[in-house]
Amino acid sequence: MKFFKSGSIVFILFFPFILSAQDIDQLLEEVTGNTTEYTIATFKSTRIVSGHSIERMQKSQLDFRISHRFGEVNRGGYEFWGLDQSSVRFSLEYGITDWLMAGLGRSSYEKTYDGFVKFSILRQSKGEQNMPVSLSYLTSAALNTLKWEKPGELPYTDRFSYVHQLLVARKFNERLSLEFNPTYVHRNLVATELDPNDIWAAGVGGRFKLSKRVSINIEYYYVVPPLHDYRSLKTYNPLSVGFDIETGGHVFQLHFTNSLAMIEKGFIGETTGSWLDGGIHFGFNISRVFALNK
């Protein structure tokens, strides 16, 4: 009987604290278990080097981007190791919504105009909704406007090329992010009948942060060779290595690459430089973001 009375007293004394602990547990469950935390800054820019990253512009933000590639370093001292030559691309990229962006660009390479649309399908997250990767889709079109030197007219429809690409990325921790990009390129116009109009490639890219504002980026595309390879031009798989440097409103990307072109049609299907032969271009991207909303 004494034990029963003592137990009752203890229960009465601690009952409010038991209820309070249950309320706290319920509150913590509501805060942590019923919310979704989305991964941000998988990459610092919308490009890894030349190719697109999983990132996109936020709604009402405009990115003015300048991309530059010098000549091949194996040109020697007379060409100042490629610095006497250059290829450039200007572009404007705009966030229509927080999951959809579009861009327009102009390259000196083949005097090309290009446009693209990129939108998010899945976002890496944890919590109530657990998604291990981010997934986006990119589609683009490019128009070659070089003068046609051969007899007869070339319809502008024959000058177009198209790209379809899936971007699959995962941010493993604060330092390491990786991406996989299966890609399809179609060119309406090729040099000879033996050159393929369709190109399939698999791209991989990664980012490793060296400090708060500096990271090293690597990008490589394996181009699937044709079943019967009679191409008129020998090409190589594009490999690029560079650094991202963030300085507030700007992101500078300094890199070395064997690709001269800065759009998918060019650097995936028409890379003629070889790292082993010194066919390497020094280049940079400069990105400046403007917020157009209030």
Cβ atoms of 114 and 143 within 8 Å: the answer is yes
Please indicate, yes or no, whether residues 162 and 256 belong to a single structural domain of this protein.
Answer: yes
The secondary structure of residue 282, as a DSSP letter, is E
Place of tokens 């490009």: 47
Q: How many CA atoms lie within 13 A of 71 on its CB side?
A: 12
Structural domain span for residue 8:
1-34
- Tens digit of each residue's pLDDT (9 = 90 or more) over 117-136: 999 999 999 988 899 999 99
Q: What is the CB neighbour count within 10 angstroms for residue 220?
A: 16
Cβ atoms of 141 and 102 within 8 Å: the answer is no
Backbone CA torsion sign across 48, 50, 54, 56: positive
Q: Pick the residue with more confidence: 169 or 15? A: 169
Please indicate, yes or no, whether residues 23 and 70 belong to a single structural domain of this protein.
Answer: no
Average pLDDT estimate for 214-228: 93
Please indicate, yes or no, whether residues 133 and 211 belong to a single structural domain of this protein.
Answer: yes
Q: How many CA atoms lie within 13 A of 129 on its CB side?
A: 11
List Cβ neighbours of 265 (8 Å cut-off, separation of 6 or more): 112, 142, 161, 163, 185, 187
Please indicate, yes or no, whether residues 139 and 262 belong to a single structural domain of this protein.
Answer: yes
CATH number at residue 255: 2.40.160.40
Q: Pick the residue with more confidence: 4 or 61? A: 61
The two structure tokens encoding residue 293: 């909303």
Please indicate, yes or no, whether residues 10 and 125 belong to a single structural domain of this protein.
Answer: no
Please indicate, yes or no, whether residues 48 and 85 belong to a single structural domain of this protein.
Answer: yes
Residue 86 CA, chain-centre distance (Å), reads 23
- For residue 33, the model assigns a pLDDT of 54
- For residue 10, the model assigns a pLDDT of 39
The pTM score is 0.85
Question: What stretches of the chain show up as alpha helix (H) in DSSP?
Answer: 2-33, 264-269
Please indicate, yes or no, whether residues 7 and 71 belong to a single structural domain of this protein.
Answer: no
The two structure tokens encoding residue 224: 């699937």
Tell me the pLDDT band of 12, cut-offs 50, 70 and 90.
Answer: very low
Tell me the pLDDT band of 25, cut-offs 50, 70 and 90.
Answer: very low
Tell me the pLDDT band of 30, cut-offs 50, 70 and 90.
Answer: low
The two structure tokens encoding residue 188: 């309406």
Closest CA to 169 of 156, 185, 153, 180: 180
Distance between CA atoms of residues 280 and 257, nearest Å:
5
Tell me the pLDDT band of 19, cut-offs 50, 70 and 90.
Answer: very low
- Tens digit of each residue's pLDDT (9 = 90 or more) over 86-107: 999 999 999 999 999 999 999 9
Closest CA to 137 of 114, 161, 117: 117
Q: How many structural domains compose the chain? A: 2
Please indicate, yes or no, whether residues 127 and 14 belong to a single structural domain of this protein.
Answer: no
Q: Pick the residue with more confidence: 153 or 71? A: 71
Angle among Cα 211, 215, 219 to the nearest 5 degrees reads: 160
Tell me the pLDDT band of 294, cut-offs 50, 70 and 90.
Answer: low
Please indicate, yes or no, whether residues 237 and 91 belong to a single structural domain of this protein.
Answer: yes
Please indicate, yes or no, whether residues 157 and 276 belong to a single structural domain of this protein.
Answer: yes
Angle among Cα 61, 65, 66 to the nearest 5 degrees reads: 170
Please indicate, yes or no, whether residues 29 and 116 belong to a single structural domain of this protein.
Answer: no
Please indicate, yes or no, whether residues 18 and 151 belong to a single structural domain of this protein.
Answer: no
- Tens digit of each residue's pLDDT (9 = 90 or more) over 275-284: 999 999 999 9
The secondary structure of residue 33, as a DSSP letter, is H
Q: Pick the residue with more confidence: 20 or 174? A: 174
The secondary structure of residue 80, as a DSSP letter, is G
